Amino acid sequence: MSTSKKISKKDIGKILSQWSQEFTVLVPSKEGNVSKMARWDGKDTRFMDSHRNTVHPVKANFFPPMEEMFSFQKNKEGYHIEPAPPDEHKLLIFAIRPCDANALAILDMAFKDGYEDPYYLSRRKDTVLIGLGCTNPYDSCFCTSMGGSPSDSTNVDIMLTDIGNEFLIEEISEAGKELVAKTEDLQEAKKADEAKAKKVKETSYDKVTRKIDTRDIDKKLLACFENKDYWEKVSAKCISCGICTFLCPTCYCFDINDDSFKKRGARFRSWDSCAFPVYTRMPMENPRGEKWRRVRQKVCHKFEFFPMNFGSIACVGCGRCIRLCPVNWDITQTIESVPEIT
């Protein structure tokens, strides 16, 4: 007996409306020509027809490009600090791709296991992720080389698979089971539906043709860390624009600044990038003033340093950094070109 559910595509709006009673529902949306996860308007579901993946990574909904940390005011007694109000909204992110769900799990390590970041965690708490499997991955995608797949359900609560005029619905987590149990308009899936979904998943997996070998990549990077000639070669066409890091779903570097006028002000944090020449600049020196050192930092952080600290490569193979780089710098070519250990 099948335990999966299914829903007609024309009824997606109905379940989104139900979920909107409990959650702030975010769906793939376009602002100009840039796609991102944004609040559902309560009626439009046309995004289901054209959605491949958002340009803006989903991390922006939990770790915004700029956010206020606290405000302050000076009086006779000194400074009075007023924390930024906590985000009380319970988020439900609909149609998140598996790579972006896996990226959130990586950010969890940095913002929860590394240290507890109250701003990130307040938004991440109680979030429900409704995954949507990829049926048309980009040629820049390489998720299957990073332990994922177009149908990976590891880090979502509910997984949807496109089976034609319907979506097969699989309950993954306890939160997903509870949500499905109280959702109306769902039908029982048949064995034929599950067989169709299985075929879709297999076909999608085979469509990811870009492959890299990450075996011992941390050891290889450690061995060539001081190989200046290699790093100068692979960084030659990088223009240090930072697009790759801003669009990366797992990058989390930020800068902190105060904005004040007279006796009032606020402290903000905003995204930063290891690609920028001033990223590590200190009063007396800049240890990464040369471009090759910054490119080395970016690659080694994802494939050597993060695994050293957290046991996981900080890359999910979403391919954004490849397809949106203005000079076609390709992380997969760099990883494949790392010298073998001699």
Which residues, 6+ apart, have CB-to-CB distance to 44 below 8 Å? none
Predicted confidence at residue 112, as pLDDT, reads 93
Strand extents, DSSP E, the chain: 5-8, 24-31, 34-39, 66-75, 78-83, 91-96, 128-132, 158-162, 166-171, 187-188, 254-261, 264-271
280 and 177 together in one domain: no
Pairing outcome for strands 264-271 and 254-261: antiparallel
Least confident of 39-43, 273-277, 285-289: 285-289
pLDDT for position 282 = 65
Q: pLDDT of 221-244, one tens digit each? A: 999 999 999 999 999 999 999 999
Query: What local confidence, expressed as pLDDT, does residue 288 receive?
Result: 79
Domain identity same for 194 and 324:
no
Based on the structure, what is the number of domains in the chain?
2
Among 85-94, 148-157, 168-177, 249-258, the range scoring the smallest mean pLDDT is: 85-94
Q: Are residues 314 and 197 in the same domain?
A: no
Find tokens 């075929």 and name the residue: 199
Q: Does residue 342 belong to any structural domain of this protein?
A: no
More confident call, 135 vs 47: 135
Question: Of 207, 227, 260, which residue constitutes the final position of a domain?
Answer: 207
| Measured CA angle at 182 (ends 176, 188), to 5 deg | 80
* Residue at a domain's end among 162, 188, 207: 207
Average pLDDT over residues 5-31: 94
Please report the pLDDT score of residue 1 as a whole number.
41
Residue 31 lies in a domain: yes
What pLDDT score does 128 carry?
A: 98
Both 141 and 33 in one domain: the answer is: yes
pLDDT exceeds 50 at position 13 = yes
Same domain, residue pair 303 and 260:
yes
Answer yes or no: do 85 and 135 share one domain.
yes
Average pLDDT score over the chain: 92
- Does 323 lie in the same domain as 251? yes
pLDDT in tens, 165-184: 999 999 999 999 999 999 99
Q: What local confidence, expressed as pLDDT, does residue 328 receive?
A: 95
Task: Supply the pLDDT for residue 250.
Answer: 97
From 185, 207, 229, the end of a domain falls on 207
The rounded distance, in Å, linking the Cα atoms of 122 and 67 is 13
Share above pLDDT 70 across residues of the chain, in percent, rounded to a whole number: 98
Residue 95 in any domain: the answer is: yes
What per-residue confidence (pLDDT) applies to 284?
64
One domain for residues 134 and 242: no
Question: Is 165 inside a domain boundary?
Answer: yes
In a domain, 212, yes or no: no
Q: Give the residue ranges of DSSP H helices in 208-310.
A: 217-223, 228-234, 243-247, 291-300, 306-310
Same domain, residue pair 315 and 236: yes
Looking at the domain assignment, is residue 293 inside a domain? yes
**Residue 81 in tokens:** 């600090």
Query: With 50 as the cut, is the pLDDT of residue 258 above it?
Result: yes
* Residues 6+ away with beta carbon under 8 Å from 217: 303, 304, 313, 335, 338
For residue 74, the one-letter residue type is: K
Same domain, 255 and 190: no
Q: Where do runs of H (alpha helix) occur along 127-252?
A: 174-181, 191-207, 217-223, 228-234, 243-247
Parent domain of 52? 5-207
Nearest alpha-carbon partner for 89 in 22, 154, 44: 22
Co-location of 133 and 159 in the same domain:
yes
Instruction: List the beta strands (DSSP E) in 89-163.
Output: 91-96, 128-132, 158-162
Q: Does residue 224 share a domain with residue 192?
A: no
